[in-house]
């Protein structure tokens, strides 16, 4: 199974804002994740899309890659806090307010799904155990 990652560092957004978008694409197929990022109304989505495309390109360059991009999925993604820039903003009566300009490090991991065996059935969803609470009452 091929796994590749890409990282973008010092992106001018907070890690908290980036995590909101990354939670939307985690575990999805790469084509579905790219479509999601295209229509998300957050400016950090463009930066995450660039990192995802870079991770896909990194996976294609690895030895042993099957050649089918459709089998890739977002195995993991996270945003870490980078260094913050401290700035001063003038305030009334000779005071000053501190402005913190945050940065984030974005990391996206993609992996290749294992090939489905011929004739294999998809796994069934487990049914809940039959208990007196969910058993229908017979009168």
| Mean pLDDT within 15-29 | 96
Position 12 pLDDT exceeds 60: yes
Domains delineated in the chain: 3-112 (3.90.470.10)
Q: How confident is the model at residue 133 (pLDDT cuts 50, 70, 90)?
A: low
Give residue 95's pLDDT.
Answer: 97
Q: How confident is the model at residue 130 (pLDDT cuts 50, 70, 90)?
A: low
pLDDT, one tens digit per residue, over 77-126 is 999 999 999 999 999 999 999 999 999 999 999 999 877 665 566 666 66
Give residue 68's pLDDT.
Answer: 86
| Residue 94 DSSP symbol | G
Q: What is the mean pLDDT of the chain?
A: 89
How far apart CA 26 and CA 44 sit, in angstroms, is: 15
Q: How confident is the model at residue 63 (pLDDT cuts 50, 70, 90)?
A: confident
Q: Which residues pair with 65 in a beta bridge?
A: none
Q: What is the pTM of this model?
A: 0.80
How far apart CA 30 and CA 111 sit, in angstroms, is: 10
């Amino acid at each position: 199974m091929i796994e590749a990652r890409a990282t973008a560092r010092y992106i001018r957004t907070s890690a908290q804002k980036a995590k909101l978008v990354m939670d939307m694409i985690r575990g999805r197929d790469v084509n579905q994740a790219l479509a999601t990022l295209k229509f998300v109304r957050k400016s950090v989505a463009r930066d995450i899309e660039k990192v995802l495309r870079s991770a896909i390109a990194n996976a294609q360059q690895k030895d042993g890659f099957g050649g089918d991009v459709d089998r890739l999925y977002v195995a993991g993604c996270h945003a870490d806090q980078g260094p913050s820039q401290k700035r001063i903003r003038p305030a009334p009566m000779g005071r000053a307010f501190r402005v913190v300009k945050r940065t984030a490090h974005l990391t996206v991991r993609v992996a290749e799904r294992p090939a489905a065996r011929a004739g294999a059935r998809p796994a069934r969803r487990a049914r809940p155990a039959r208990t007196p609470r969910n058993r229908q009452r017979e009168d």
